[in-house]
A and B are shown apart, each in its own frame.
Chain A
Amino acid sequence: MGKTHLKMTVNGKDVELMAEPRQLLIHVLREELNLTGAHVGCESSHCGACTVDMNGMSVKSCTVFAAQAQHAEITTIEGLGSPDGLHALQEMFKEHHGLQCGYCTPGMITRAHRLLQENSNPSEEEVRFGISGNLCRCTGYQNIVKAILAAAAKMNEMKESA
């Protein structure tokens, strides 16, 4: 099948690649760009394991063709925090035991990150609604919700002191 030339910005870096029209964004990220943080849990946009940020919105990258990401700005879990400086969300997920097997975690944190951009001070209900596109089989969500609320508080604190 013929390939198209694609350009996008992924985690702040410009990338160029060739992809078939039918190739999904999740597969391009994972297999061509070696960004294996976002996972595949269903390929039918139900589970959210593949969530990444595209042009300022959460998308389920298993239901986006790579070609639709032409010139897009993409952020994946690898673009949040760094080994020496975890993002507040990453830290709070650890602190509040917001993960077990870790399979949903990259998508969950990426989604939570966008949610907190949209609403920096959400209520518990807003968090629960805001992450309801992301399934977790292990945690029962209680500690994920706790972690996101704690991260929101921490990020707001950091903003104030800055």
Chain B
Amino acid sequence: MNESIPPKEERMAALSGLGTSRKRVEDARFTQGKGNYVDDMKMPGMLFGDFVRSPYAHARIKSINTEAALSLPGVHAVLTAADLEPLGLHWMPTLAGDKQMVLADGKVLFQGQEVAYVVADDRYVADDGIQAVMVEYEELPVLVDPFKAELNDAPVLREDIADQSEGAHGPRRHPNHIFTWESGDRAATESVLSEAEVMAEEMVYYHRTHPCPLETCGCVASMDKVNGKLTVWGTFQAPHAVRTVASLISGIAEHNIRIVSPDIGGGFGNKVGVYPGYICAIVASIVTGVPVKWVEDRMDNLMATAFARDYWMQGKISATKEGKITGLWCHTTADHGAFDACADPTKFPAGFMNICTGSYDIPTAYLAVDGIYTNKAPGGVAYRCSFRVTEAAYFIERMIEVLAIKLGMDAADLRAKNFIRKDQFPYQSALGWEYDSGDYHTSWNKALAAVDYQGLRAEQAERLAAFGRGETRKLIGIGLSHFTEIVGAGPVKNCDILGLGMFDSCEIRIHPTGSAIARLGTISQGQGHATTFAQILASEIGIPAEDITLEEGDTDTAPYGLGTYGSRSTPVAGAATAMAGRKIRAKAQMIAAYLLEVHDNDVEWDVDRFSVKGAPERFKTMKEIAFASYNQAIPGVEPGLEAVSYYDPPNMTYPFGAYVCVMEIDVDTGTTEIRQFYALDDCGTRINPMIIEGQVHGGLTEALAIALGQEIAYDDQGNVTTGTLMDFFMPTAWETPNYQTDFTETPSPHHPIGAKGVGESPNVGGVPAFSNAVHDAFKSFGLTQSHMPHDHWRIWKIANSLGLHD
């Protein structure tokens, strides 16, 4: 009989479960141009809405005249704040406990702000209408420098809350001050610093940038007045949260709202927030009675929806003469723009910035963050990162380098000397986190060996000597980074957004013939969920991944979840998937035992079937069990085979990695060339190595962009000077290198399958590696710190200021 059962390995391979580089099921339609993105939607009678935007960063609105626009053929309506006010929709709550104007209410606070909304036959006519709306502005003094926000003569930006001394996150000390958030022990840290043998201090700036997914934000809103049901299709990274927010602010009952995320052309945090465009499309559909589409153009996107970073991090780090770190202090000035619209869990107004002790065993630490209003766009989203982890990782990985210079120590040795040791996990950090697992020395040593670190340093020294002799104008920079992430938000006990706990969910139905459908509360934006979550399930329930349909993004059918960002899908929804699978298996076990006429405990799971213990030839496959569940009356067991799991993670997960960047820098032109980039990632259990590698390539390229040129810059009048892809750096295939990827595998002890999440690691760890390479190249000429982005012009200036052009 045994011959009839294929060997275990063969049956496992047939499942395409955990650990296989399964090809993506999404690709067939995407490669044929058959994706379904929001701008592809067409509905009968659909109109197009678009914004009149402010040319000024700070101005009072004297008047808005819509007459000429309304008289244009094809223009159906022009909405202003006055029209939205009776509905209570001229302002909306932000995810950070602040509120934001939907349409300018009396004044504008940043360039590109939404002033009026023109609804027309199509996008061309809408544009005609925009040109015809006459707005009279009175310019006000502009505040762009957060360090000038609290000066006596600073203009008050938010007159609506000017006299409120208490904000969503505690006391406010000035009308332009949003909050102060503290973590750690200030007194203890200051005393450690004052007694330190060695102390290094530096201002580390992580500039303002933008996630800039290739598809901009947009939606189609359709109010069906007959059924009283509102449907909104849009670029939503968190459809369920959008439904709840939409219900709370519109007063439409939640069951009468359906939010659908179709295919999304990249998100990277840009599509977490709720934007005026969504609200206006909804109102316009209610007003006109037909579906209304809004899709922002690239300039709108860069100017108005969701910047990222903009943290000024003043740091102090202390150590013994031998290089053992004793304390870390950080004060951050956070430029939030005109409204605090950061997408952080409620209790964390500066996100997880307090992971800034990084991979190091730092006994004493203190962090304070001051949020500041300026005349810039709101946002502060997690651009491919988990709530300010990128800022934290950049800060500590720069401070380590600065300290190494002060100590005269090799920065690789300094890191190794201070890593949290493997036997210290679970590790309590000084700023309150419990790191779940890690093996930093192993990852570090593997990385240094892979690139021949000593060899590189020797080559660098030779190059320097040749440079000194005038034989070359190129320097070598070796950029190191060992980052620790904190992802998978998060435990409901301390993580919520607008009061919604950050659990996630999965619902599975097994069909009678043994195939299945699974629905999740998350939403893919290119991460390949339909592929990988089916793999998790295949391993759990023994049904081949190709027989499992995966659905996300429709709030009418998917179970409630908080969506996809902050690398939370695998840690949270992936866990829910495994747990729901285990519920299926538990019921299947009872059915199998009944069919095999033995006790429940006498059968055991074997890849894709239950077999009788000690008699493997007596078994029931999952397929047979599924069929039986629908057609046999089994005493004490309900018919059908379904399960739902809502997973509240007990802890965050802590992926980590070791990156090395080798860069050639031309001191005369400031140009850079990445000669080698080695990336070792440890994301715990690996679900699909091919997809992990793809995520690492993509994240590193975004990191390269940020470190070497990508910024949202303002002039002193608050004009955005990088509002098109001409000025906003997006690397092409030409300047992007080939990356070398590698891994270690340290499973998360608390996650059902040990997975930690990976999508954001390369951005978090990549930026310091690229930036450190630039710094390293000029280190021997006396450079300790220079702000990103390191574009050619700024690098040229570094070389120039160090006298290298003399």
A interface residues with partner B (beta carbon < 8 Å): 20, 22-23, 27, 30-31, 34-44, 46-47, 49, 76-78, 81, 83, 86, 89-91, 93-95, 97, 99-106, 109, 127-129, 131-145
What are 30 of the A-B contact pairs (CB < 8 Å)? A30-B39, A31-B42, A36-B33, A42-B297, A47-B298, A77-B31, A78-B32, A83-B32, A86-B31, A89-B31, A91-B31, A93-B31, A99-B31, A100-B527, A101-B215, A101-B265, A103-B35, A105-B33, A106-B31, A129-B733, A131-B733, A132-B734, A135-B730, A136-B733, A137-B214, A138-B698, A140-B699, A142-B739, A143-B697, A145-B733
Partner of A43, one of B24, B35, B268, B297: B297
Contact B31 A46 (CB under 8 A): no
Contact B213 A137 (CB under 8 A): yes
Contact B266 A86 (CB under 8 A): no
Contact B24 A77 (CB under 8 A): no
Contact A94 B24 (CB under 8 A): yes
Contact A135 B298 (CB under 8 A): no
B526 contacts the other chain (Cβ, under 8 Å)? Answer: yes
B549 contacts the other chain (Cβ, under 8 Å)? Answer: no
B724 contacts the other chain (Cβ, under 8 Å)? Answer: yes
Contact A39 B268 (CB under 8 A): no
Given A78-B32, A138-B214, A138-B526, 4 new contacts (CB under 8 A)? A42-B724, A91-B31, A101-B214, A132-B734
Contact B739 A137 (CB under 8 A): no
Most chain B CB within 10 A, of A20, A137, A141, is at A137
- Chain A residue numbers with a CB within 8 Å of B298 are 41-44, 47
Binary flags per residue of B730-741, CB closer than 8 Å to A gives 1, else 0? 101110101100
Q: Which residue of A lies closest to B737 (CB)?
A: A142
- Chain B residue numbers with a CB within 8 Å of A101 are 213-215, 263-266, 525-526
Interchain CA distance A44-B216 in the complex, whole Å? 14
- Contact A44 to B726, CB < 8 A, known contacts A131-B733, A139-B697, A142-B739: yes
B694 contacts the other chain (Cβ, under 8 Å)? Answer: yes
Contact B694 A139 (CB under 8 A): yes
Most chain A CB within 10 A, of B699, B724, B738, B739, is at B738
- Contact A22 to B264, CB < 8 A, known contacts A39-B39, A132-B733, A140-B697: no
Q: How far is the CB of A118 from chain B (nearest CB, A)?
A: 16
Q: How far is the CB of A144 from chain B (nearest CB, A)?
A: 7
Q: Which residue of A lies closest to B528 (CB)?
A: A100
Interchain CA distance A100-B697 in the complex, whole Å? 11
Residues 468-487 (chain B) with a chain A CB within 8 angstroms: none
- Contact A109 to B730, CB < 8 A, known contacts A42-B724, A44-B724: no
Partner of B27, one of A78, A94, A131: A94
Q: Which residue of B lies closest to A83 (CB)?
A: B32
Contact A97 B691 (CB under 8 A): yes
Q: How far is the CB of A65 from chain B (nearest CB, A)?
A: 12
Binary flags per residue of B699-718, CB closer than 8 Å to A gives 1, else 0? 11110000000000000000
- Contact A95 to B31, CB < 8 A, known contacts A43-B298, A143-B694: no
Binary flags per residue of B419-439, CB closer than 8 Å to A gives 1, else 0? 000000000000000000000
B594 contacts the other chain (Cβ, under 8 Å)? Answer: no
Q: How far is the CB of A33 from chain B (nearest CB, A)?
A: 12
- Chain A residue numbers with a CB within 8 Å of B32 are 37, 77-78, 81, 83, 86, 90
Contact A137 B34 (CB under 8 A): no
Contact B734 A46 (CB under 8 A): no
B28 contacts the other chain (Cβ, under 8 Å)? Answer: yes
- Chain B residue numbers with a CB within 8 Å of A99 are 27, 30-31, 526
Contact A100 B526 (CB under 8 A): yes
Q: How far is the CB of B455 from chain A (nearest CB, A)?
A: 25
Interchain CA distance A58-B525 in the complex, whole Å? 27
Q: How far is the CB of A3 from chain B (nearest CB, A)?
A: 12
- Chain A residue numbers with a CB within 8 Å of B26 are 102
- Contact A102 to B263, CB < 8 A, known contacts A41-B214, A135-B732: yes
B160 contacts the other chain (Cβ, under 8 Å)? Answer: no
Partner of A46, one of B24, B122, B690, B726: B726
- Contact A136 to B33, CB < 8 A, known contacts A46-B724, A97-B694: no
Q: Which residue of A lies closest to B33 (CB)?
A: A37
B743 contacts the other chain (Cβ, under 8 Å)? Answer: no
B40 contacts the other chain (Cβ, under 8 Å)? Answer: yes
Residues 1-45 (chain B) with a chain A CB within 8 angstroms: 23-24, 26-35, 37, 39-40, 42
Contact B733 A137 (CB under 8 A): no
Contact A90 B31 (CB under 8 A): yes
B725 contacts the other chain (Cβ, under 8 Å)? Answer: yes
- Chain B residue numbers with a CB within 8 Å of A83 are 28, 32
Most chain A CB within 10 A, of B26, B525, B699, B736, is at B736
Interchain CA distance A34-B344 in the complex, whole Å? 39
Q: Which residue of A lies closest to B35 (CB)?
A: A102
B124 contacts the other chain (Cβ, under 8 Å)? Answer: yes
Contact B724 A97 (CB under 8 A): no
- Chain B residue numbers with a CB within 8 Å of A137 are 212-214, 266, 268, 698, 702, 730
Contact A44 B215 (CB under 8 A): no
- Contact A140 to B726, CB < 8 A, known contacts A30-B40, A41-B215, A102-B26: no
Q: How far is the CB of B738 from chain A (nearest CB, A)?
A: 5
Contact B734 A128 (CB under 8 A): yes
Q: How far is the CB of A88 from chain B (nearest CB, A)?
A: 11
- Chain A residue numbers with a CB within 8 Å of B42 are 31, 34
Interchain CA distance A34-B617 in the complex, whole Å? 56
Interchain CA distance A95-B31 in the complex, whole Å? 11
- Chain B residue numbers with a CB within 8 Å of A77 are 31-33
- Contact A47 to B214, CB < 8 A, known contacts A99-B30, A102-B35, A141-B733: yes
Contact B526 A97 (CB under 8 A): no
Contact A39 B31 (CB under 8 A): no
- Chain B residue numbers with a CB within 8 Å of A78 are 32-33
Contact B214 A104 (CB under 8 A): yes
Contact A36 B28 (CB under 8 A): no
- A-B pairs, top 4 by smallest CB distance, nearest first, are A37-B33, A101-B526, A102-B30, A103-B265
Contact A103 B266 (CB under 8 A): yes
Contact B734 A93 (CB under 8 A): no
Q: Which residue of A lies closest to B29 (CB)?
A: A102
Interchain CA distance A132-B731 in the complex, whole Å? 9
- Chain A residue numbers with a CB within 8 Å of B738 are 142
Q: Which residue of A lies closest to B702 (CB)?
A: A137
Interchain CA distance A38-B39 in the complex, whole Å? 11
Interchain CA distance A41-B215 in the complex, whole Å? 6
Contact B40 A36 (CB under 8 A): yes
Contact B736 A140 (CB under 8 A): yes
Interchain CA distance A105-B695 in the complex, whole Å? 16
Interchain CA distance A131-B734 in the complex, whole Å? 8
- Chain A residue numbers with a CB within 8 Å of B726 are 44, 46
Most chain B CB within 10 A, of A20, A41, A95, A102, is at A102
Contact B733 A103 (CB under 8 A): no
Interchain CA distance A109-B213 in the complex, whole Å? 19
Partner of B734, one of A23, A35, A90, A129: A129
Interchain CA distance A91-B693 in the complex, whole Å? 19
Contact B31 A136 (CB under 8 A): no
Contact B214 A103 (CB under 8 A): yes
- Chain A residue numbers with a CB within 8 Å of B736 are 128, 140-142
- Chain B residue numbers with a CB within 8 Å of A47 are 214, 298, 725, 730
Interchain CA distance A90-B27 in the complex, whole Å? 9
Q: How far is the CB of B665 from chain A (nearest CB, A)?
A: 21
Interchain CA distance A23-B734 in the complex, whole Å? 32
- Contact A100 to B39, CB < 8 A, known contacts A38-B33, A49-B214, A94-B27: no
- Chain B residue numbers with a CB within 8 Å of A132 are 732-734
